[in-house]
């Protein structure tokens, strides 16, 4: 657990490490991480899709793991490094995985992208030589209702090929 | 940097008034305001058109040219993620004659964009993709600029050409004048010229090219602003409390039940509308969860298993689209009559993000940030709910998650408006997953009976269609907020269904807007014959009954359900006639573009000519098959044929789609990559709907309320190979490409399963249990 100070209303001041910066927030420690990121810290990457950990829209990377922030109480994150979609790369300097999605025009509405990119990133970090079937399996709990699947897998292959080449 | 509106720039634009004004003034463009709400009062007093209604005849409402030559265009057609924003910029750049990156496009803000009603359906239809308004405005502007330049350059207009933001003398291009020097910062003061000449696709340099989406980079890097990210100073957070059962009403609300919770600002009750406003989103969620409301019992629902028989027992509104008058007699006299019934369930939009809106209602004025497809209609219907003049409401479109029709975007806009009005502060509302899925406007359930009679040559001589579908509510339009759940709970009624039996005679000519009529009939009504086919003994009768659930347009609304029935049945008939399904279709068509799409798909798929089912079939284990389906979408709005290759596991009932070949003609193609993206997404979404999606309920309530109970395919689905043929037709009007491919997926797969197994699937979705049962029944 990070620095934490409780006071009477059930709120606590927590220090989170988000996208390389330490930030203090004054929240109910039971609040799901997603709300702290999007409401208190104004981040746009992680999104509320279902609130049940079923779709992936809220995905962030915590300590190298893809985590569903809508069902993760902020108090459990502690001092671990949190990376959101906007922390992966910037519009000016996108991460190679993001660049591959841009190159393949691999999105329609874009609401699902935190789940797709961050789940892929953490999986390929651990399994750099994963087969297509393994990547597909890793993404089986991630939803894209526009069904951009064809382009997304093209983009993922482009990125994975570039890493192992 | 390009001058496209980045999402941050848009945010500036749509936020505080001074920023917006500064932004627009910075481009040197004038703005024609359409309402007096918000901070544009000064400008609107200067330039108000007094315009209130559909579209605008004023060129200045659509196009403004800045001193720096930047073109600002205003559109009432919005992008939901389908790429329309980029395609409309291409359209403006092409027609006005400026480079792509010198166009700013402002979409759907009732204070500054024209009223273009709802953005829906096939986006490149002339009515939707701005061919008759924004593009005409571009052409009007270009011709006006050439005329001005003729005076300025002292050369006849016929010697001039407009390109790259300048008008130049063709013979001596060094004699030229920039747009900004002709009209920059001033009004055109012209009406749209109906005779202005649009550029022919052969002249296109920007339109028709695969311009990448201008929003892609921001989306992929998490910078893009969705309506979910809108923040305004002092904003509170709301959650709604929906009834636990269909038809439950509020008995009493115990506000003290959440008094102890932190951050609660107010419990709001209006009729059967209940909501909680709190300081923080998490507090609002907990408040809504813990608030004690005594609800009455709902209405008993007929068992889901009886749905398709129940549809036939209700009072109905009957419509005859086509009736040649001889169908009963000919069916009676025929030696061979085939019949079959096809059923299609309620399905849902089930957007990735539960719907969200922000509203700021202050006294008699309101601003609503909404992902609605219908900015002006949402303004007018919100006015009805709030009791505020519509002129005093400003609706600003900000994109939500892909909607695929009327998801919760309209209803949550009302939620936010009602809660904001109750507290006098801006309120953001995002629905829970369950509130989204249990109360959205579902795609209609359908039951369809069809009969055909064959002549001595095995050709279809008679086609009889009779369909039943259930509906309640729909898009609110300009005056029916009760068509979605919040309006209804707050006291407005959905549009009524007036039973009408028997149906009056068809008053033609046939308008096949909902694809109720199969492609193979002649569609003769009086002197007209608007069908795509040759069958002249024809009847198309539909019955609309009341649904207990709200319904509304879901991607390819009704067209998809009807096409499933038509195209599977056509396949049955071809199989009975022992005819090749492609040849048999072509034989019954009288429509060059649809036939060309069928031939193109067959060629691309290396279609082997033979009847279905395939002669040698696996009796155990895995069987392979191919199937075709096609449609003239909405009768005349996109022409598509799809061939599905499948592997059916006879033991498990699982269908694997190994390849989808799609040939599509939507006229001149605005953006080929965007069109491919729509075809791919539509095809896979169609697979999800064909294989797994179905709204479910018990005796009182909807039970498909999350991703465990509503079965969408995910990124883990085995992907079919996609083989797409774009048929670019340049001498016709553009038509749609957004809803075509999805319309033919279920019948293409169903027909392929028949080809593989000899077993006909007549009910969507084709779940493994249903496929296994069909195979078992067939072998008994």
Could you state, in order of their start, the residue ranges of all structural domains in chain B? 7-214, 236-297+351-439, 446-779
Question: Which range (A4-8, B421-425, B538-542) has the least confidence?
Answer: A4-8
pLDDT of residue A59: 98
Q: Are B519 and B598 in contact (CB under 8 A)?
A: no
Instruction: Give the whole-angstrom CA distance, residue A110 versus residue A148.
Output: 9
Instruction: List residues bridging with B539 in a β-sheet.
Output: B323, B464
CATH of A96-164, one of 1.25.40.10, 3.90.550.10, 1.10.150.120, 3.90.1150.10: 1.10.150.120
What's the whole-number mean pLDDT along residues B96-101? 97
Residue B297 reports pLDDT greater than 50? yes
Contact: A102, B216; criterion CB under 8 Å: yes
Question: Which range (A50-64, B9-23, B635-649) has the least confidence?
Answer: B9-23
Instruction: Give the whole-angstrom CA distance, residue B36 versus residue B380.
Output: 14
Does residue A71 belong to the interface with chain B, where contact is any CB pair within 8 Å?
A: no
Question: Which range (B536-540, B733-737, B767-771) has the least confidence?
Answer: B733-737
Q: Between residues 73 and 102 of chain A, which touch chain B (CB distance below 8 Å)? A: 84-91, 94, 98, 101-102
Structure tokens that stand for B431 in this block: 């629905």
The residue of chain A with its CA nearest to that of B83 is: A108
Burial, B576: exposed, middle or buried (Cβ in 10 Å; 0-12, 13-18, 19+)? Answer: middle
Cross-chain CB nearest to A85 (options B81, B82, B221): B221
pLDDT digits (tens, 9 = 90+) for B233-272: 999 999 999 999 999 999 999 999 999 999 999 999 999 9
Does residue A122 belong to the interface with chain B, where contact is any CB pair within 8 Å?
A: no
What's the whole-number mean pLDDT along residues B328-338? 97
What is the percentage of chain B residues whose pLDDT exceeds 70?
Answer: 92
pLDDT of residue B2: 35
The residue of chain B with its CA nearest to that of A137 is: B716
Burial, B319: exposed, middle or buried (Cβ in 10 Å; 0-12, 13-18, 19+)? Answer: middle
What's the whole-number mean pLDDT along residues B322-349? 98
Disruptive mutation site among A42, A91, A117 for chain B (greatest number of B CBs within 10 Å): A91
Please choose, from the candidates B103, A72, B654, the residue with its C-alpha nearest in 3D space to the C-alpha of residue A84: A72
Instruction: Give the whole-angstrom CA distance, residue A3 versus residue B464.
Output: 74
Residue B14 reports pLDDT greater than 70? no
Contact: A89, B81; criterion CB under 8 Å: no
Contacts of A89 in chain B (CB under 8 A): 221
Structure tokens that stand for B391 in this block: 């002129």
pLDDT digits (tens, 9 = 90+) for B101-146: 999 999 999 999 999 999 886 554 555 666 778 999 999 999 999 9
Residues 6+ apart with CB under 8 A from B186: B30
pLDDT of residue B23: 40
Please choose, from the candidates B409, B370, B408, B365, the residue with its C-alpha nearest in 3D space to the C-alpha of residue B383: B365
Q: Is A32 helix (H, G, I), strand (E, B) or coil?
A: strand
The residue of chain A with its CA nearest to that of B738 is: A146
- Helix runs in B654-710, H state only: 672-691
pLDDT of residue B283: 96
pLDDT digits (tens, 9 = 90+) for A95-106: 999 999 999 999
CATH of B7-214, one of 3.60.21.10, 3.40.1280.10, 3.30.365.10, 3.90.550.10: 3.30.365.10
- ipTM for the predicted complex: 0.95
Residue B19 reports pLDDT greater than 60? no
Determine which helix (DSSP H) or strand (DSSP E) holds B655, and give its type and residue range. Answer: strand B655-665
Residue A75 reports pLDDT greater than 90? yes
Residues 6+ apart with CB under 8 A from B393: B35, B37, B110, B365, B366, B367, B368, B379, B382, B383, B386
Contact: B717, A38; criterion CB under 8 Å: no
What's the whole-number mean pLDDT along residues B420-431? 98
Contact: B712, A54; criterion CB under 8 Å: no
Class of CATH domain B446-779: alpha beta
Residue B42 reports pLDDT greater than 80? no
Disruptive mutation site among A35, A109, A154 for chain B (greatest number of B CBs within 10 Å): A109
Total CB pairs under 8 A between chain A and B: 198
| Three-state DSSP string of B725-763 | EEECCCCCCCCCCCCHHHHCHHHHHHHHHHHHHCCCCCE
pLDDT of residue B123: 52
What's the whole-number mean pLDDT along residues B428-455? 98
What's the whole-number mean pLDDT along residues B578-588? 98
Disruptive mutation site among B2, B78, B214, B221 for chain A (greatest number of A CBs within 10 Å): B221
What is the percentage of chain B residues whose pLDDT exceeds 90?
Answer: 89
pTM: 0.94
- Confidence tier at B779 by pLDDT (50, 70, 90): confident
Instruction: Give the whole-angstrom CA distance, residue B662 versus residue B683.
Output: 9
The residue of chain B with its CA nearest to that of A29 is: B282
Domains of chain A: which residue ranges?
Answer: 4-88, 96-164
Contact: B716, A141; criterion CB under 8 Å: yes
pLDDT of residue A1: 38
What's the whole-number mean pLDDT along residues B716-726? 97
pLDDT digits (tens, 9 = 90+) for B466-523: 999 999 999 999 999 999 999 999 999 999 999 999 999 999 899 999 999 999 999 9
pLDDT of residue A3: 43
Q: Is A117 helix (H, G, I), strand (E, B) or coil?
A: helix
pLDDT of residue B566: 98
The residue of chain B with its CA nearest to that of A152 is: B715
pLDDT of residue B84: 92
B541: number of Cβ within 10 Å: 21
Contact: B716, A142; criterion CB under 8 Å: yes
Q: Which residue's entry shows tokens 């028989």?
A: B309
Contact: B81, A108; criterion CB under 8 Å: yes
pLDDT of residue B132: 77
What's the whole-number mean pLDDT along residues A76-101? 97
Contact: B212, A105; criterion CB under 8 Å: yes
Residue B7 reports pLDDT greater than 80? no
Sign of the torsion formed by the C-alpha atoms of A88, A90, A95 and A99? positive
Architecture, CATH, for domain A4-88: Roll (3.10)
The residue of chain B with its CA nearest to that of A140 is: B716
pLDDT digits (tens, 9 = 90+) for B167-212: 999 999 999 999 999 999 999 999 999 999 999 999 999 999 999 9
Query: Closest Cα of chain A to B79: distance in Å?
Result: 9
Query: Closest Cα of chain A to B401: distance in Å?
Result: 5
Contact: A136, B712; criterion CB under 8 Å: no
- Measure Cα distances from A2 to A12, A63, A75, B78, B315 in Å: 11, 14, 8, 44, 64
CATH of B236-297+351-439, one of 3.30.365.10, 1.10.760.10, 3.20.20.100, 3.30.70.270: 3.30.365.10
Residue B3 reports pLDDT greater than 80? no
Q: Between residues 38 and 67 of chain A, which touch chain B (CB distance below 8 Å)? A: 38-39, 42-45, 47-52, 54-55, 57
pLDDT of residue B780: 62
pLDDT digits (tens, 9 = 90+) for A128-163: 999 999 999 999 999 999 999 999 999 999 999 987
Query: Closest Cα of chain B to A159: distance in Å?
Result: 14
Contacts of A144 in chain B (CB under 8 A): 352, 714-715
Contact: B352, A153; criterion CB under 8 Å: no
Task: Establish whether domains B7-214 and B236-297+351-439 are of one fold.
Answer: yes
Mean pLDDT over all residues of chain B?
92
pLDDT of residue B616: 86
Of B348 and B27, more confident: B348
Query: Closest Cα of chain B to A115: distance in Å?
Result: 10
Cα B236–chain centre separation: 31
Contacts of B229 in chain A (CB under 8 A): 38, 44
Sign of the torsion formed by the C-alpha atoms of B491, B494, B495 and B497? negative
Contact: A31, B212; criterion CB under 8 Å: no
Residue B38 reports pLDDT greater than 50? no
pLDDT of residue B55: 78
Disruptive mutation site among B123, B211, B220 for chain A (greatest number of A CBs within 10 Å): B220
What's the whole-number mean pLDDT along residues B299-326? 97
């Amino acid at each position: 657990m990070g620095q934490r100070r409780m006071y009477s209303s059930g709120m606590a001041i927590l220090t989170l490490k988000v996208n390389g910066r330490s930030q203090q927030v004054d929240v109910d420690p039971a609040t799901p991480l997603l709300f702290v990121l999007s409401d208190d810290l104004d981040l746009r990457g992680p999104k509320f899709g279902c609130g049940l950990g079923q779709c992936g829209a809220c995905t962030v990377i915590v300590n190298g793991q893809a985590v569903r922030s809508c069902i993760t109480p902020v108090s459990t994150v502690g001092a671990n490094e949190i990376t959101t979609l906007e922390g992966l790369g910037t519009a000016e300097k996108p991460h190679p995985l993001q660049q591959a999605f841009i190159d393949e025009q691999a999105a329609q509405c874009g609401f699902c992208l935190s789940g797709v990119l961050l789940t892929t990133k953490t999986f390929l970090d651990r399994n750099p030589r994963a087969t297509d079937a393994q990547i597909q399996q890793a993404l089986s709990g991630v939803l894209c209702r526009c069904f951009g699947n064809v382009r997304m897998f093209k983009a993922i292959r482009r990125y994975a090929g570039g890493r192992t080449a | 940097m390009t001058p496209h509106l980045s999402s941050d720039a848009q945010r500036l634009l749509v936020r505080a008034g001074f920023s917006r004004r500064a932004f627009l003034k910075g481009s040197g463009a004038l703005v024609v305001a359409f309402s007096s709400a918000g901070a544009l009062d000064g400008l609107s007093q200067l330039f108000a058109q007094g315009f209130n209604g559909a579209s605008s005849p004023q060129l200045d409402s659509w196009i403004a040219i800045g001193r720096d030559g930047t073109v600002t265009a205003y559109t009432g057609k919005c992008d939901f993620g389908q790429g329309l924003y980029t395609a409309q910029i291409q359209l403006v750049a092409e027609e006005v004659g400026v480079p792509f990156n010198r166009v700013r496009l402002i979409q759907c803000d009732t204070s500054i964009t024209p009223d273009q009603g709802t953005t829906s359906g096939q986006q490149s239809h002339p009515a939707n993709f701005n061919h008759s308004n924004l593009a005409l405005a571009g052409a009007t502007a270009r011709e006006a600029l050439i005329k001005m330049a003729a005076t300025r350059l002292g050369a006849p207009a016929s010697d001039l050409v407009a390109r790259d933001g300048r008008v130049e003398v063709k013979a001596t291009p060094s004699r030229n004048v920039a747009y900004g020097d002709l009209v920059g910062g001033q009004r055109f003061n012209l009406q749209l010229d109906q005779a202005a000449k649009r550029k022919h696709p052969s002249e296109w340099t920007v339109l028709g090219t695969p311009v990448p989406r201008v929003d892609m980079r921001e989306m992929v890097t998490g910078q893009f602003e969705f309506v979910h990210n809108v923040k305004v100073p002092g904003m509170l957070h709301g959650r709604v409390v929906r009834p636990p059962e269909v038809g439950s009403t509020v008995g009493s609300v115990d506000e003290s039940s959440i008094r102890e919770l932190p951050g609660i600002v107010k419990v709001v009750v209006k009729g059967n509308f209940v909501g909680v406003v709190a300081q923080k989103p998490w507090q609002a969620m907990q408040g809504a969860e813990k608030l004690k409301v005594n609800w009455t019992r709902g209405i008993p629902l007929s068992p889901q298993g009886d749905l398709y028989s129940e549809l036939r027992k209700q009072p109905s509104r009957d419509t005859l689209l086509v009736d040649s008058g001889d169908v009963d007699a000919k069916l009676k006299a025929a030696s061979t009559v085939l019949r079959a019934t096809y059923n299609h369930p309620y399905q849902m939009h089930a957007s990735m993000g539960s719907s969200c809106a922000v509203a700021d209602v202050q006294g008699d004025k309101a601003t609503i940030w909404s992902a609605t497809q219908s900015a002006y209609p949402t303004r007018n219907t919100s006015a009805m709910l709030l009791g505020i003049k519509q002129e005093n409401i400003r609706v600003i479109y900000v994109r939500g998650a892909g909607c695929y029709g009327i998801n919760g975007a309209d209803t949550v806009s009302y939620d936010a408006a009602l809660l904001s009005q109750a507290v006098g502060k801006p309120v953001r509302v995002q629905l829970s997953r369950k509130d989204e899925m249990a109360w959205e406007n579902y795609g209609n359930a359908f039951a369809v009976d069809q009969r055909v009679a064959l002549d001595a040559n095995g050709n279809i001589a008679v086609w009889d269609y009779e369909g039943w579908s259930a509906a309640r509510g729909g898009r609110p339009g300009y005056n029916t907020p009760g068509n979605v759940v919040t309006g209804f709970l707050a006291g407005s009624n959905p549009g009524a269904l007036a039973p009408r039996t028997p149906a009056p005679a068809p008053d033609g000519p046939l308008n096949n807007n909902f694809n109720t009529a199969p492609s193979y009939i002649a569609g003769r009504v009086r002197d007209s014959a608007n069908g795509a086919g040759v069958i002249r003994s024809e009847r198309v009768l539909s019955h609309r009954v009341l649904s207990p659930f709200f319904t509304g347009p879901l991607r390819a609304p009704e067209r998809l359900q009807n096409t499933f029935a038509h195209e599977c049945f056509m396949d049955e008939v071809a199989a009975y006639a022992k005819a090749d399904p492609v040849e048999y279709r072509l034989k019954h068509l009288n429509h060059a573009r649809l036939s060309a799409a069928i031939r193109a798909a067959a060629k691309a798929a290396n279609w082997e000519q033979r009847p279905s089912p395939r002669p040698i079939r696996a009796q155990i284990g895995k069987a392979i098959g191919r199937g075709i389906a096609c449609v003239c979408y909405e009768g005349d709005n996109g022409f598509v044929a799809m061939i599905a290759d499948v592997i059916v596991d006879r033991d498990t009932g699982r269908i694997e789609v190994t390849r989808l070949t799609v040939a599509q003609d939507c006229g001149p193609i605005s953006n080929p990559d965007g069109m491919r993206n729509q075809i791919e997404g539509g095809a896979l979404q169609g697979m999800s709907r064909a294989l797994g999606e179905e709204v479910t309920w018990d005796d009182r309530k909807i039970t498909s309320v999350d991703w465990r109970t509503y079965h969408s395919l995910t990124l883990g689905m085995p992907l079919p190979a996609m083989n797409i043929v774009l048929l670019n037709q340049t001498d016709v009007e553009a038509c749609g490409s957004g809803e075509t491919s999805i319309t033919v997926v279920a019948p293409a797969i169903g027909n392929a399963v028949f080809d593989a197994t000899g077993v006909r699937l007549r009910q969507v979705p084709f779940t493994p249990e249903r496929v296994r049962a069909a195979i078992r029944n067939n072998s008994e």
